Amino acid sequence: MMTPRPTGPLPSTAARPDAENSTTPHSVDCPPYWQSGRYPEALEALWRSHALAVELGDTRGAASCLVRIGIVHNASGDSQSGIEALRQAIPVLRGLGERRDEANALGNLGYFLSLVGRSEEALDTLRESAAVAREIDDRRSEAHALVGLGQTLLGLGRPGEAFDHLRGGLAAARDCQDFSGEAEALIELADALLRLDLAGPALDHARQADRPDLRATLHNRLGAIHRATGDPALAAEHHALALELALRLGSRTEQDAAREGLSLAQEHLAVEGPNERTR
């Protein structure tokens, strides 16, 4: 799963006399708010920061808040509100000439559109993000957009096209030493290769992608590969581990994928018997 990325700095409170009681970038952006399921608190803090930016005339800070608000809405399962927040932020960033932030926000918007099934809009938006990133030689944003394109095309059942974009995303991530982006690209490449009936290379790619923040996704991919290669017992182990990790992280998408994969693996085991493995 592509990881949404925030853009730009949040507004500063340093010039305000009540700064000690104001929302600071650290209090808004810290993981306990928007990476551990405390979404209402995160949104409240971000809207306070947005109001402060508007009051101070900090247009870029207000737009950056909107991008983060969109990301939190999406993480809470409300992708449509996330889309609306990003649609407000992007024209502002474009008007300010903040091309790097624009590329990032477009990448996030494309991802959210893909999540709600608006695939063609997602593809157009992600292509725009990649084009802006290339114009300014921002390899990190380009990698983000290309991986998003690959994921969206996989969802449309077009693994060959997805593979080409994902391979480009992997190269871009490696060029800028974006290790998280590299791991995401490797995991999605494993999915594309598996759909192209290339289970061996798929497994090789997946094994290179071990990062703590992506391990639930990784184990779900490994489970799918082992199901496809006839080893449901090992697949079940990977999906069970993915479910445990996803529950710990609060990732609904990976929880659902793990439960589905585990159910399929257990069905195969019930047919084969507990002591049989097809290799």
Please give the structure tokens belonging to residue 93. Answer: 């960033």
Q: What pLDDT is stored for residue 140 in this prediction?
A: 95
Per residue, the 3-state secondary structure of 207-257, as one string, reads: HCCCCHHHHHHHHHHHHHHHHHCCCHHHHHHHHHHHHHHHHHHCCHHHHHH
Q: How far apart are CA 41 and CA 16, in angstroms?
A: 23
Which stretch, 192-196, 243-247, 251-255, 270-274, has highest mean pLDDT?
Answer: 192-196
When pLDDT is averaged across residues 249-276 and rounded to a whole number, the result is 82
Tokens 């090789």, located at residue: 204
Q: What pLDDT is stored for residue 277 in this prediction?
A: 44
Q: Residue 23 — pLDDT band, cuts 50, 70, 90?
A: very low
The per-residue pLDDT of the chain, averaged, comes to 85
182-186: which pairs have CB atoms within 8 A and are 24 or more residues apart?
182/209, 183/209, 183/210, 183/211, 183/214, 183/218, 184/1, 184/2, 184/3, 184/147, 184/209, 184/214, 185/143, 185/146, 185/147, 185/150
Q: Residue 239 — pLDDT band, cuts 50, 70, 90?
A: very high
Answer whether 168's CB lies under 8 Å from 192's CB.
Answer: no
